[in-house]
Structure 1
Amino acid sequence: MEGLRKVFDDLIRFETMLWGAIDTALETESGLTLSTFNLMWIIDSTPQCRVYDIAEALAITVGGTSQAVDRLEKAGYSIRRPHPDDRRSSIVELTPDGVAAFRKAEPVFDRALARLIGEPLSATELTHLAGALEKLRGVIAR
């Protein structure tokens, strides 16, 4: 059990440190937080993106996601449009300002990932890590 506790501790601490380092880089170089970037990334890559889609992608509640989208709208980075097929939901889209801010932040994010994960790990280690994390997420998602 002690080995599993150490792995848990290392994983959680690494996630916290990784989030902080990427968040700092993004805020410094692009003015976006990692939370904002994450929302924008999902919206940008999801056709006819709904709040529900974002919540599913981030594994958070729809209520919390709706509040985050509200903040994104207030910043002028997104808008909600009526869903053409479902009157109960809306489509979330990035505004032109949102697209510009996201495109500016993407290379900052990619450089931080390369520096903090890609460079320290070999291609084989990265493949193994990705596979292990996917497998563990699958256990929790059941």
Structure 2
Amino acid sequence: MNATPQHDDEAVARAANSGLVRDFGLLIKSATRLEQRIDSALRRECGISHTMLEVLIRLCRRPGEEVSQRQLADDLTLTSSGTTRLIDRMEEAGLVRRTPSPEDRRVALVEPTTEGRAAFLRAAAVHARVVEEYFVRPLAADDYARLTSALSDIDKALRDEAG
């Protein structure tokens, strides 16, 4: 038999139904659903995952920049082993190549191939279309500007706290 007093059940229900829990849950659900839409469209139309696109974005952002697997892992918040497996799959697909660092041969640098750059351009167009449809278009222009500004403020606060 449950001997928990009723007021404890009410306190638990209030906490579970709080505005902060609801609002944060809405953010996470929306971001997850958007990511799933992007990933599905990329797999269907380009044959790559959203995570692979994130790698290609990072590699194509500054042409000629040397990017190590460790930097990719940090930038994409992946584990070292997860990054290695991802780069293995991308290398097998002809999207990237690894080269040893001239400064430290223990460090593998990753660069996009010609096919990787072409795949990136196709995927970037798909990504933009899905983001426009589900992230931008549902909002009024002023609301979109406020949302992106607020998200930037949140990101900055989290980065400042971590540093």
Q: Do they superpose with TM above 0.5? A: yes
State how far apart, in whole Å, the 2-side matches of 1:87 and 1:96 are. Answer: 24
How much has 1:107 moved relative to structure 2? 0.8
After superposition, residues 43-62 of structure 1 pair within 5 angstroms as: 43-46=59-62, 47-62=65-80
State how far apart, in whole Å, the 2-side matches of 1:71 and 1:112 are. Answer: 25
Aligned to 1:40: 56
* Change beyond 3 A, Cα 1:87–1:37: same
How much has 1:28 moved relative to structure 2? 2.0
- The 3-state SS of whatever aligns with 2:110 is strand
- The 3-state SS of whatever aligns with 1:80 is strand
Aligned to 1:22: 38
Q: Percent identity?
A: 32
TM-score (norm 2): 0.78
How much has 1:22 moved relative to structure 2? 1.0
Aligned to 1:3: 19
State how far apart, in whole Å, the 1-side matches of 2:146 and 2:70 are. Answer: 31
CA deviations over 1:5-56 (Å, ceiling 9, x no partner): 0011101111111011111211222222212111111111142111122122
Matched, 1:114 2:132: yes
User: Structure 1: which 5+ runs fail to align?
Assistant: none
Aligned residue pairs total: 142
Matched, 1:89 2:136: no
- Runs of 4+ with >3 A deviation: 138-141
User: Structure 2: which 5+ runs fail to align?
Assistant: 1-14
